[in-house]
Amino acid sequence: MTEQKKTSVEFVEIETGFEGQRIDNFLRNRLKGVPKSVVYRIIRKGEVRVNKKRIKPEYKLQVADIVRVPPVVVDDKQAPKVSKGLKIVAQLEDCILFEDKDIIVLNKPAGMAVHGGSGLNFGVIEALRTLRPDARQLELVHRLDRDTSGCLLIAKKRSMLRVLHEQLREKTMQKNYWALVDGQWDKKDRKVDEPLRKNTLQSGERVVKVDKNEGKPSLTLFRILDRFSSCTLVQASPVTGRTHQIRVHTACKGHPIAGDNKYGNNDFSAFMEQKGLKRMFLHAFSLKFSHPNSQETIYVEAPLDTQLTKALAMLKQPK
Catalytic residues: 145
Nearest to 67 by CA among 13, 29, 8, 27: 13
Q: Who's near 161: CB < 8 A, 6+ residues apart?
A: 137, 139, 141, 155
Measured CA to CA, the distance from residue 64 to residue 250 in angstroms comes to 49
Catalogue the E-assigned strands of the chain: 4-6, 10-13, 49-50, 53-54, 66-69, 73-75, 96-99, 103-108, 139-140, 149-155, 174-182, 191-192, 196-200, 206-210, 220-227, 231-238, 282-290, 297-301
b/e code 94-106 from CB counts within 10 Å (16+ = b):
ebebbeeebbbbb
Q: What are phi and psi of 152, to 5 degrees?
A: -130, 125
Kindly calculate the radius of gyration of the chain based on its CA atoms and give it in whole angstroms: 22
Sequence letter at residue 62: Q
Q: What are phi and psi of 116, to 5 degrees?
A: -65, 155
